[in-house]
Chains A and B, each alone.
Chain A
Amino acid sequence: MDLDALASCLTSPACLVTQTTSGLIIGMLLFLVAVGLTLIFGVLKVVNFSHGAFYMFGAYFAMTAYQLTGSFALAILSGAVGTALLGLIFERAFMSRVYGRDVLMQLLVCYAFVLIFDDVVRMIWGPEFRSMGMPAAFQVPPLFIAGGVVPPYYLLLIGVALVAAVVLGLGLARSRIGKVIRAAAHNPGMVSALGINTGLIYGGVFALGGMLAGLAGALAAPVRSLTPGMGFSVLIESFIVTVIGGMGSILGALIGALLIGLIRSFGSLGFPLFTEGLMYLFMVIVLVSRPTGLFGKEVA
């Protein structure tokens, strides 16, 4: 425990800016992963325990595309599109077989794929740590805001995540597809009776969720090291985010992700060894006081 470090940071503008920015990028990446998770849960009513693997694949796809083409935009695109396709195949081939069944079965199918996907990555890209490196366009001096260091790439990352959040939120609230998705979440039987192919919607939502996680992975690739199993800690954290925010709530995912990002960033100063513990503690406190999360609704 190092509360002095925390206190001196809280009183220094430079340190505040640096820590807040790093908290924001953690939060934004987590939001992208968690919002996919919460969307899949909200519509399909399954907890996608293999969601972290999509984040991992997004990062590896982006790294490979960047090494092959040298284009950062293509890297991000292949991360997102590749995982969307993967999500679609995974849902149609496997997850669709366990809908409405025991939660245990769904968890097990996902657990099986956590093991399989990690080994597939190990086979293709090797077991060691890999890194994609910062794209040339962002190898520029950092900005200084109130004395705090803010790398330009962080701004891009936060910007892309915010755009994704707005597009997703508006799309679900306003567009026709969004309405159909929400209807399917609410009453799939009715939607299917109206002649809408619910299987297609389920596949699409799963692909969208996978795409968001893949996008997060691709965005994280320049600033994180890549390793098989990297999806796991992200998965656990995004679970905490969705549970804190309330399973199925997009706003909840956003707020939960930002809270967790800030807790991690400032907690690493005050409690260097117990940063992870702080998140779990926070989750426990939230669940004890509000059993369905901050924005969750009790479903009977």
Chain B
Amino acid sequence: MTELQAGQGAQPLEVPRIDARPQRYRDVLIALAAFVLLALLPMVFGSKQLLDFVIRCAAYGLFATSLNLLVGYTGLISFGHGMFFGLGAYGFGLMMQKTGVPIPVAFVATLAMTFVVAVVIGAICVRLREIYFAFVTLAFQMLIHSTILSWQSLTGGDQGLRGGIPRPPFLGIDLSNHLHLYITSCALLVIGLFLMRQIAQSPFGYTLRMIRDNATRASFIGIDVWRAKLVIFVLAALFAATGGIIMALFVSGAYPEFAYWTISGEGIFINMLGGVTTFLGPMVGTVLLLILNDTVTRLTEYHGIVLGIVILFFAIGLRKGLMDFVVEWYGHRRGEGRG
């Protein structure tokens, strides 16, 4: 993780504020403003495609941002984070199809199930370091994917959960109404991002950065590194599952691809594209990747080549994500202006 190590990066180590309240008020205001803007969007541009795009951004954005809590903040390169996206989609879809409980109950129950699974898998994975961590998470992801494929009676195997997910109205919200689904997705996105931001800015968030920069030192000053890693692994899993739930609601089903390793690969690519050192980098990456995917798929059948070249441009040419680049460039410019 040389790129992320303290002292080598261009940015100085952030110093946590002792009183975090002013920042929290600012975050609340930003979150409210973002939500209002998103909610007003359908009145300005009524196109269904745009709303669909935002819903997909909400699903992938929550997933990618939660992955960045692991990759960017803690230095845990998970190659299996997509399993929680898939678990969220399947858990929620199955709960709605089989039990007929109200949507909020299914939502909470799915997160509870994800919590249990993430604690068990996380307890095993976070013992391992670097590439071994990446591969054991990948193995768990593929294990879950294989289970979904082979447990046909429950999951429908490679056909996925079909027949649609029932979406009975609750509290005046009817998720089979496209506009309601849109507003709910935006609300989940904004709330999720706000919560993750609070985690990242909390003392615990700074503990994670310390573990990323120097785990040995962190354990010497009395931090339980294993526990901190496990806590963030589980928290990130919950947000990824929320993304999966949005996705299941959006497509009204769940498919094995949601739990396939490529979801994790895309998540890492999104983070790379947007940048891992800023909180909103993954969101920017999500928007970029979805736009890129949509346009490239329309223009050519060989979209692998185009995507590959874009990745190479970022990895070898730019050597960092877009937001990292912008922040650094802005920092330089401001620094020069002052000097």
Contacts and interface: CB of A to CB of B under 8 A. Distances in A.
Given A108-B311, A118-B304, A103 B128 contact: no
Contacts of A118: 304
A254 B135 CA distance: 19
Contact of B302 (A112, A122, A287): A122
Interface string A40-70: 0000000100000000000000000000000
Interface string A235-271: 0100110010001000000000000000000000001
Contacts of B279: none
Contact of B3 (A97, A102, A115): A102
23 contacts: A101-B3, A102-B3, A102-B4, A103-B131, A104-B77, A104-B276, A108-B311, A109-B312, A111-B268, A115-B304, A115-B311, A122-B302, A236-B142, A239-B135, A274-B146, A277-B146, A280-B139, A280-B140, A283-B139, A284-B124, A284-B139, A287-B132, A292-B132
A98 B304 contact: no
B139 A287 contact: yes
Interface string B133-156: 011101110110011011010000
Given A103-B131, A287-B124, A287-B128, 19 more contacts: A97-B316, A101-B2, A101-B319, A103-B134, A107-B77, A107-B134, A108-B315, A111-B265, A111-B268, A112-B307, A112-B308, A116-B305, A119-B304, A120-B305, A243-B135, A243-B136, A273-B149, A280-B142, A292-B132
Contact of A112 (B2, B77, B146, B311): B311
A100 interface: yes
B251 interface: no
A192 to B, nearest CB: 19
Contacts of A105: 3, 315, 319
B124 A288 contact: yes
B316 A277 contact: no
B127 interface: yes
B314 interface: yes
B188 interface: no
B1 A108 contact: no
B309 A109 contact: no
A149 to B, nearest CB: 28
Main secondary structure of the interface of B (DSSP, over half): helix
Contacts, number: 123
A34 to B, nearest CB: 13
The 5 A-B residue pairs whose C-beta atoms are closest, nearest first, are A277-B146, A273-B150, A115-B304, A116-B308, A112-B311
Interface of A: 47, 94, 97-98, 100-105, 107-109, 111-116, 118-120, 122-123, 236, 239-240, 243, 247, 271, 273-274, 276-277, 280-281, 283-284, 287-288, 291-292
Nearest to B314: A108
Given A243-B132, A243-B135, A98 B142 contact: no
Nearest to A47: B131
Given A277-B147, A284-B143, A291-B127, A102 B312 contact: no
Interface in B159-179: none
B272 A104 contact: yes
Contacts of A291: 127-128, 132
A104 B307 CA distance: 17
B302 A119 contact: yes
Interface of B: 1-4, 71, 77, 124, 127-128, 130-132, 134-136, 138-140, 142-143, 146-147, 149-150, 152, 261, 265, 268-269, 272, 276, 302-305, 307-309, 311-312, 314-316, 319
Contact of A277 (B132, B143, B269): B143
Contacts of A239: 135, 138
Contacts of A284: 124, 136, 139-140, 143
Contacts of A122: 302
Contacts of A274: 146-147, 150
Contacts of A120: 305
Nearest to A106: B315
A104 B277 CA distance: 13
Given A94-B316, A284-B143, A111 B311 contact: yes
Contact of B268 (A107, A116, A277, A287): A107
Contact of A280 (B130, B134, B143, B307): B143
A120 B139 CA distance: 28
Nearest to B5: A102
B239 to A, nearest CB: 20
Given A116-B308, A120-B305, A103 B130 contact: yes
Contact of B139 (A108, A240, A292): A240
A287 B143 CA distance: 14
Contacts of A101: 2-3, 319
Nearest to A281: B143
